[in-house]
Structure 1
Amino acid sequence: MTQALLLAALAAAAPLFARASEDWFGLAPCELCLWQRWPYWAAAALAVAAALWPRGRRVLVALAVLAVLGSGAVAAFHVGVEQGWWPSPLAGCQVPRSAGGSVEDMLRGLSARPSKPCDAPAYLIPGLPLSMAAMNLLYALGLSAGAAIWMRRGARP
């Protein structure tokens, strides 16, 4: 039970840290950054459910690990967008395109709060060439590997 709660806390720590980095360090998230947070919340909820329901613990923890890996997959995609390996398909990650019309029409089409482009990496630690997306990828891989090892050890008689 305590391991499931630890997994829940570590899963919730990632989006909470990302949000804190916005407030404390002034980092602006892009749309892909925000997408990376949702799987962590799902993993935290699944891990809490695993702690409360012992009969389904293995399945729920496995689903939580898959959710963490889902965030890692979005992070890997985001790193590719940052590196220019492929474009982001999300409209919020791209510069708005004009279909003609007047300047007033174009201004009305802009969002009230412009979003950060997804291909502009956010670096938390000066001099460290790891963007927030790359750090999330490493964190997701480490957390999912640790939880998988814990599950495997728990399966032994």
Structure 2
Amino acid sequence: MNLLTRPNLVFLAAGGSAALMLGALFFQYVMKLPPCELCYWQRYPHIAAIAIGMLALMIPGRGLPLLGALAALTTSGIGVYHTGVERAWWKGPESCTGGGDALGGLSGSDLLSMDTPTGIVMCDEVPWEMFTLSMASWNAIASFGLVLIWLLAARSRV
């Protein structure tokens, strides 16, 4: 019995994106770690991969699994970029990194003031890590694994 059939691989890849999205929502709502702008960017390709997976289970062919691989590769790339921003390897978006002019000219005391809007989450700070890897890093690694599963699904003839 071959378990590596196209439907099983598609289900595994799309399910992996769903699991990563559930994990992100767990950290956001249960652990009270609000996402930054780059965290949201990493979520969108997972949502697309889930939708692609549902379609790929109904429509045969290689096109949809290849599109799923592209979605997983996109979120993996964003995760690598986010990791680099967190580790100060390169600059991140000015809207969510330290000292960015796009923060509307707010000073540090303004950000702490009760009179200013709340909800600014910095992209260059690591709120949680495991084995010295941040959530962005883990997303990059897991998503790259999903790319491989999507590619196996595209290659599968069964």
TM range (shorter): 0.7 to 0.9
Query: What displacement does 1:88 show?
Result: 1.2
Q: Distance in 1 between matches of 2:97 and 2:51?
A: 28
Share of identical aligned residues, percent? Answer: 31
Aligned structure 1 segments of 4 or more residues deviating by more than 4 angstroms: none
**Residue of structure 1 in register with 2:29 after alignment:** 23
Q: Which residue of 1 aligns with 2:52?
A: 46
Match for residue 105 of structure 2 among 79, 98, 120: 98
Q: Which residue of 2 aligns with 1:10?
A: 16
Partner of 2:66: 62
Alignment of structure 1 residues 122-141 onto 2, 5 Å: 122-125=127-130, 128-141=131-144
Q: Which residue of 1 aligns with 2:145?
A: 142
- Give the match's secondary structure for 2:133: coil
Q: What is the number of residues matched between the two proteins?
A: 145
**Cα distance in 2 between the residues matched to 1:43 and 1:114:** 28
Unaligned runs of at least 5 residues, structure 1: none
Task: Measure the CA separation in 2 of the matches of 1:151 and 1:134.
Answer: 26
Structure 1: how far apart are the matches of 2:98 and 2:67?
Answer: 32
CA-atom RMSD, angstroms?
A: 2.6
- Separation in 2, partners of 1:19, 1:49: 24
**Which has the larger helix fraction?**
1
Q: Which residue of 1 aligns with 2:42?
A: 36
Quick one: distance in 1 between partners of 2:26 and 2:122? 20
Residue 115 of structure 1 aligns to a residue whose secondary structure is coil
Q: Match for 1:98: what amino acid?
A: G
Cα deviation for residue 149 of structure 1 reads: 2.8
CA gap of 1:27–1:20, structure 2 versus 1, over 3 A, is same
Instruction: Give yes or no for contact 1:69–1:140 (8 Å, CA) kept in 2.
Output: yes
Which residue type is aligned with residue 136 of structure 1? N
CA distance in 1, matches of 2:69, 2:38: 20
State the TM-score, normalizing by the size of structure 1: 0.80
Residue 145 (structure 1) shift: 1.3
Q: Offset of 1:90 from its aligned partner? A: 4.5
Amino acid at match of 2:145: G
Contact 2:9 2:149 survives alignment (8 Å) = no
Partner letter of residue 65 of structure 2?
A: V
Q: Higher relative CO (CA 8 A, sep ≥ 6), structure 1 or 2?
A: 2
